[in-house]
Amino acid sequence: MTLDESETEPQDFDDEMYMEILRDDPPMKRYVSRGDTPDPVDIAGPHKEADRAILRCIRFTIADKTARFQPVLGDAGMGKTHLYWVLKDNEGIFSGKEFLAVYVPSPPAPVRIPLHLHACLVDEAGEEIFEETVDMLISKFG
C-alpha cells in the first residue's frame, strides 16, 4: 500500500489567520487568565500560600515605607496572572494607595527586560511614580 503524495505533504498553515484569531477572539480565552482581562471569579484555596506571602510583604511595606518588588514567577498555568487580578482587586482594601500590582507579561526578548519592566510600571502607575520617587530621594538624601 502506498500513500498518496497529497497525504504525505504537510497541510498549508495560515499563520496570519491564526495570529488574527488569537488577537481578536481566542476560542479558549476564558479558560486562562489574561493580563488584559480581569478575572471575575476567584477560588482562594489554590493560591492561599502565595496570598499569605505577598500580603506579608505588603504589610512590611506599609509599616516601614520601604518600596519593594515582589515578583511572582512560575511555570505556565500555575496561576500567576489570576493572582495578579486577585491582588489588583485588593489594592483598595488598604488605606490610601499603599501598594500597586503591576502585570508584566513575558518580554519579547531577554535583552529587553529592563525596558519592558519600566514600560509596564509606567503603564500601570503613570509617570507620577517617578516624580514622587525623585522627590522622596531628594528629601531623604538631599
Strands (E), 5-124: none
User: Which residues, 6 or more positions from 74, have their beta carbon under 8 angstroms from its beta carbon?
Assistant: 80
Give me the tens of pLDDT residue by residue for the chain, a chain 142 residues long: 455 555 555 567 777 877 777 677 666 555 566 666 776 666 667 778 888 888 888 888 878 877 778 888 888 777 888 888 888 887 777 656 667 888 888 877 888 888 888 888 888 888 888 888 888 889 989 7
Looking at residue 23, its amino acid is R
- pTM, rounded to two decimals: 0.60
